[in-house]
A and B are shown apart, each in its own frame.
Chain A
Amino acid sequence: MSNEMDALQGAANHGVKDPRTGLPATPPSGPDVKGEASGRNRTLMGDAWYRLSRNKLALVALAWLMIITLAAISASLWVPRIYGDPVAIDTATVATGALQSPSVAHPMGTDDLGRDMLSRIVYGARASLSVGFMAVFVSVVIGLILGSLSGFYTGWPDALIMRIADVFLAFPYLLFALLLLSVVPKEYRGGIMPVVLTIGVLGWPSIARVFRSSILSVKENDYVDAARALGASDLRLMTRHIMPNAVAPIVVYSTMSIGSAILTEAALSYLGLGILPPTPSWGRMISDGQQYLTSNPGLVLWPGLAILTTVLAFTLLGDGVRDALDVKMKD
């Protein structure tokens, strides 16, 4: 039990006073902690990192995510020069034959407009990853605010917020997303932001629920009563004593949510209401490649594998973080 508490606390102890002692908590020492050497006297974050670093599957996932993130960020520096522009139609290639099979110059072949598939996959990672991170950020912000109100003030705010969450969850998810995107004014269509906001807004109920139940259990601790008895205000109780100990499940949940946000983005783009050309996105590439399935299945295969490996990596990393922080979650 105490181990679990430590881990919970370690998740978000940045500059927060230790709720039990009132002393400033040891700052998290980050990934370079020499966990083994310093014996049992490790920081809480260090403990979690140590456990994560022994999980090979999670490390492979983390490495893969770092590779594609770096590739996506640095894409404009090297990809167009080596493999060709991901957006502009390559007239030279189209003239000699688009839909090329994989070769040294084009490791994943070219699409129907002569554009290099590898280049498009790397640029597609930009769209997918930014939607994944930003959408989950939006969900977490809304979910944390509403979830903390709901968990802290039981009674009518709780009932109201949870009923609204029920309605959101009762609505078929994809249908709701398509509907929201269909009313986006023309001038904003096809970009990343409408998709981010849609997925972000639809994701808050689950985050709010997870956070609410986490707060409900943390609230029962004696140190919260102690702080209250010492005259701490609601805001102080919430931000200083409850929140830091209740966010670990959110860390785990949002890591996994990034993967599902990427899946949703791909589905929306596949259906033609998410990210639209010219911005390359994996989902749209699959729907564009579908008609060339017989002659060039790679146009569908590669973007699909990109989605699969990225989403799988976020799931495995989320599993690893869950074990490292020792959070008990329902599947």
Chain B
Amino acid sequence: MFQYIFRRLVQFVPVFFGVTLLLFFVTTILPGDPVALRAGEKKLPPAVYQAMRHQYGLDKPWYQQYADYLGALAKGDLGTSIASGRQVTDIFKDVYPYTVKLAGGAIALEIIFGIAVGIVAAVKRYSIWDTLATLTTSILVALPVFWLGIMLQYFFGIWLKNATGGAFYLPISGVSGVFPTWVYLILPSITLASVSTAYAARVMRSQLLEVSGQDYVRTAHAKGLSVSRVLWSHEMKNALIPVVTFIGLDLGAMLSGAILTESVFNIPGLGWTIYHSIRAYDYPVLFGCVTLMLFAVLFINLIVDVSYAFLDPRIRYGSAAGE
């Protein structure tokens, strides 16, 4: 098992260098000058311009900048924000809890509804429920996420408030206020979960259908086990594995920050912070947040891989035999 984990860690190395190099490539080699862009319409005096470039290390060649970044990273230093002067690590500590809570809510919805809808659609194949599930998932996948968020805001925050005379409604923006904190997470979680829940339901359905055609399932039926027992203790065991992987990867993606959902609902999480650092050319914040995000995603993916190996002994033994 440790060998397995070690191998996954080694695989992360080229991805880490690839992603950070790409980040450097985009921000320092492509045309587009953060200092000039920050100055806006007015031209800076050449001396000030040079001084600013020097201050952020932009006058050095890109490989020097990259080496500086790696050196600082090794010491746990992610630099300070150009816009606010705060330590990037402090900013990250402030914003990341919001992203984690949002991702937690969305993953909970995805697990419950994705798996439930997938099971119903597979068990009642070709029934009206199956058709309905297919239709709903197709629409959810084609929906612009931010539009779904705004429509939820309208329905639950404005329409419902007017319809009930202000007695019942949900908060549509921000992270705290008159409601308990978790209420602020309801609509953003639904929004963030929408697309992935649809995919999870599809994966669950197709896996169950695939498993149901296998010999061991027929044997279980032939032994006279009840349909529900075959489903829960035989089919689900195998069919769930790809679903767990899928949801795990989703969790990794959600923990990278939900730029659109956080923007629509004004949640100052990681996605929101990264988006604003791009808009403000606050490259230290961008690099720092993306670096920490990469490590967070790596960590989640590692857990998913390990749990996958626990769920499916074939992978565990297969990897040991492969050494």
Q: Complex Cα distance A174/B275, Å?
A: 10
User: Is A184 an interface residue, CB under 8 A from the partner?
Assistant: yes
User: Is A95 an interface residue, CB under 8 A from the partner?
Assistant: no
Contact A182 B147, beta carbon cutoff 8 Å: no
Interface residues on A, range: 35 or more
Contact A175 B145, beta carbon cutoff 8 Å: no
Q: Complex Cα distance A189/B281, Å?
A: 16
Please give, as numbers and ranges, the residues of chain B lying within 8 Å of A271 by CB-CB distance.
Answer: 259-260, 263, 275
Residues 141-180 of A, flagged 1 when their CB comes within 8 A of B and 0 if not, give 0000000000000000000000110111011101110111
A172-B256 CB under 8 A given contacts A183-B27, A183-B32, A184-B32: yes
Please give, as numbers and ranges, the residues of chain B lying within 8 Å of A168 by CB-CB distance.
Answer: 22
Contact A178 B275, beta carbon cutoff 8 Å: yes
Residues 16-48 of B, flagged 1 when their CB comes within 8 A of A and 0 if not, give 001100110011001110000100000000000
Query: A167: nearest residue on chain B (CB-CB)?
Result: B18
Please give, as numbers and ranges, the residues of chain A lying within 8 Å of B253 by CB-CB distance.
Answer: 172
Contact B15 A175, beta carbon cutoff 8 Å: no
Q: Complex Cα distance A273/B19, Å?
A: 22
Q: Which single member of B18, B27, B138, B153 contacts A179 (CB below 8 Å)? A: B27
Contact B15 A300, beta carbon cutoff 8 Å: no
A179-B154 CB under 8 A given contacts A271-B260, A286-B147: no
Q: Complex Cα distance A125/B18, Å?
A: 36
Interface residues of B in 178-237 (CB under 8 A from A): 199, 202-203, 206
Please give, as numbers and ranges, the residues of chain A lying within 8 Å of B293 by CB-CB distance.
Answer: 172
Q: Is the interface of A mostly helix, strand, loop or mixed?
A: helix
User: Is B292 an interface residue, CB under 8 A from the partner?
Assistant: no
User: Is B111 an interface residue, CB under 8 A from the partner?
Assistant: no
Q: Complex Cα distance A183/B278, Å?
A: 9
Chain A's nearest CB lies how many Å from the CB of B133?
Answer: 14
Query: B41: nearest residue on chain A (CB-CB)?
Result: A186
Contact B158 A267, beta carbon cutoff 8 Å: no
Interface residues on B, range: 35 or more
Please give, as numbers and ranges, the residues of chain A lying within 8 Å of B150 by CB-CB distance.
Answer: 286, 290, 293, 300, 304
Contact B146 A308, beta carbon cutoff 8 Å: no
Contact B274 A267, beta carbon cutoff 8 Å: no
User: Is B142 an interface residue, CB under 8 A from the partner?
Assistant: yes
Query: B256: nearest residue on chain A (CB-CB)?
Result: A172
Chain B's nearest CB lies how many Å from the CB of A280?
Answer: 16
Q: Which single member of B158, B199, B275 contacts A294 (CB below 8 Å)? A: B158
User: Is B139 an interface residue, CB under 8 A from the partner?
Assistant: yes
Contact A263 B281, beta carbon cutoff 8 Å: no
Contact A167 B142, beta carbon cutoff 8 Å: no
Contact A312 B138, beta carbon cutoff 8 Å: yes
Chain A's nearest CB lies how many Å from the CB of B154?
Answer: 5
Contact A267 B278, beta carbon cutoff 8 Å: no
Please give, as numbers and ranges, the residues of chain A lying within 8 Å of B141 by CB-CB distance.
Answer: 315
Q: Which single member of B27, B31, B257, B290 contacts A185 (CB below 8 Å)? A: B31
Contact A180 B26, beta carbon cutoff 8 Å: yes
Q: Complex Cα distance A311/B141, Å?
A: 9
User: Is B57 an interface residue, CB under 8 A from the partner?
Assistant: no
User: Is A266 an interface residue, CB under 8 A from the partner?
Assistant: yes
Q: Which single member of B18, B257, B263 contacts A163 (CB below 8 Å)? A: B18
Query: B14: nearest residue on chain A (CB-CB)?
Result: A163
Please give, as numbers and ranges, the residues of chain B lying within 8 Å of A308 by CB-CB distance.
Answer: 139, 142-144, 147
User: Is B279 an interface residue, CB under 8 A from the partner?
Assistant: yes
Please give, as numbers and ranges, the residues of chain B lying within 8 Å of A294 by CB-CB distance.
Answer: 158
Most chain B CB within a 10 A radius of its CB, from A168, A174, A316: A174
Chain A's nearest CB lies how many Å from the CB of B181?
Answer: 24
A293-B153 CB under 8 A given contacts A185-B31, A308-B144, A312-B138: yes
User: Is B151 an interface residue, CB under 8 A from the partner?
Assistant: yes
Interface residues of B in 248-290 (CB under 8 A from A): 253, 256-257, 259-260, 263, 274-275, 278-279, 281, 286, 290
Nearest first, the 10 closest Cβ-Cβ pairs linking A and B are A183-B32, A167-B18, A304-B147, A312-B142, A311-B142, A183-B30, A170-B15, A172-B256, A182-B278, A266-B144
Seed contacts A167-B19, A286-B150; 9 additional CB < 8 Å A-B pairs: A175-B256, A270-B260, A272-B279, A293-B154, A300-B147, A311-B142, A312-B139, A316-B138, A331-B206
Show 16 A/B contacts (Cβ-Cβ < 8 Å), sorted by A.
Answer: A167-B18, A167-B19, A170-B18, A172-B257, A175-B259, A178-B275, A186-B37, A267-B146, A270-B146, A293-B158, A300-B147, A304-B151, A307-B144, A307-B147, A312-B139, A315-B138
